[in-house]
Amino acid sequence: MATRTYDSAMNHHVRQPRQTRTPTLVVAALACVLTLTVALFGQAGAASAGSLPETSSNVDKVATALVNRMWTLAQNNDRNGLRKFINRQFQAQDADQPRWNKRQFINVLVNKEDLTSYTLSDLRATRSGNTIVVTYTAAASQIVNGKPLSGDPKPRLTVFVQSPTTHKYTAISHSSFNVPTDS
């Protein structure tokens, strides 16, 4: 409903649109709904991204399982498993090799590597958002490109990223600091 006011300068009545006031209760209700929505989606987002504290034992458990899975797939020469587990943006760097992309890395693991046994130790993991960075040592009996690698424990670094849609982790990067032996 419009209201009329008198404009003395113009010497006539001016019709003004009715000012609507949103009841305080409605504003308060909308604020509550917005707050609850943000809180619920924030918790769901945190749970799906797995945003646990960096030092959480849960991060170490997830990281240990991921690293063991990668090494087991490599030991079993599981090309299809590796294709699913390694991210399409994957990069690898070894101490004495050029950089490898996903296809090259899987080709080396399946066709040119003989990994008969391995022991992982000193695993440390940190998490930031959907990324887990894992440093560890690996003592492995392996031959890469016809060259035996030292069986002594050597440092490794592997990075995993969690998909926002499937919530599954894939390896996105791996580095080995092991070099071939002179023999």
C-alpha torsion 135→165→48→36, nearest 10: 150
Phi, psi of 26 (to 5 degrees): -65, -45
Report CA Rg, the chain.
Answer: 30
Dihedral, 47, 63, 123, 183 alpha carbons, nearest 10: -160
Within a 10 A sphere around the Cβ of 74, how many other Cβ atoms?
22
C-alpha pair distances (Å), 85 with each of 6, 9, 41, 44, 106: 76, 79, 28, 24, 11
For residue 94, the surrounding DSSP H or E stretch is strand 86-94
d(CA 139, CA 117): 8
Place of tokens 């649109």: 17
The residue ranges of every structural domain in the chain are: 3-49, 57-176
The amino acid at 64: T
Backbone angles phi, psi at 117, to 5 degrees: -160, 160
pLDDT < 70: residue spans in the chain = 1-56, 97, 112, 145, 178-183
The DSSP line for 43-59 is HHHHHHHT---TT-HHH
Give the model's pLDDT for residue 182. 63
The pLDDT, as a whole number, for residue 8 is 56
Q: What is the CATH number of domain 57-176?
A: 3.10.450.50
Q: Are 141 and 173 in contact (CB under 8 A)?
A: no
**pLDDT confidence of residue 111:** 74
Q: What pTM, to 2 d.p., does this model score?
A: 0.65
Please answer whether residues 48 and 167 qualify as being in contact, where contact means their C-beta atoms are separated by less than 8 angstroms. Answer: yes
